[in-house]
Amino acid sequence: MKRNITHLVVHCTATAHNASVAAIQRYWQGTLKWKAPGYHKIIKADGEVVTLLPDRKIANGVAGHNKTCLHVSWIGGLHNDNRTMAQRKALAAVLYNWLKEYPDATICGHRDFPGVNKACPQFDAGANYNYLKSYVVAAGSGAKLPAEPPAEPSAPGAAGGAFGV
Ligand SMILES: [Zn+2]
């Protein structure tokens, strides 16, 4: 059954770029005793997206808000926003696909929830990825939805709004 999703939440793992997905899951299960993973999807430094939980299930990303959230995290961000270009693109792709399912959902970061006292995901997720919504909204009024996620206008080194490829 499709859940009522109000927020698409971006996280970082606050680890090194090469932290393994297995080690992160061991931390959740072994140390934190979580039954569900912290995120639905996690993005490696090379841009590979690993699905940890189906969208219909509830992840453990933001206490008190998980019933209405989908969570995606990029591996890294221990001290700052050090997303690789591949991670920026993969994040855009994940959020774009979710927006097609849940066009009214808000893109935000973990830190944007009230009472959260951490920097996660180390950047302003709404400001960075809200441009994706305009395509989905336009499609709702009859415009053709691009098959691939449109390039991020604010990507470093992006020439004329492209990903620099
Ligand atoms: Zn987080």
Q: What is the pLDDT of residues 118-164, one digit of tens each?
A: 999 999 999 999 999 989 888 888 888 888 888 888 776 554 444 43
pTM over 0.85: yes
| CA 46 to ligand 1 center in whole angstroms | 20
User: Rounded to the nearest whole angstrom, what is the distance from the C-alpha of residue 24 to the centroid of ligand 1?
Assistant: 13
Interval between CA 73 and ligand 1 midpoint (Å):
7
23 CA to centre of ligand 1 in angstroms:
16
Classify domain 7-140 at the CATH superfamily level.
Peptidoglycan recognition protein-like (3.40.80.10)
pLDDT by 10s per residue, the chain, length 165: 688 999 999 999 999 999 999 999 999 999 999 999 999 999 999 999 999 999 999 999 999 999 999 999 999 999 999 999 999 999 999 999 999 999 999 999 999 999 999 999 999 999 999 999 989 888 888 888 888 888 888 776 554 444 433
Any idea which residue has 């859940």 for tokens?
3
Spacing, Cα 120 to ligand 1 middle (Å) = 5
Report which of 82, 86, 84, 62 is spatially closest to residue 72, judged by C-alpha positions: 62
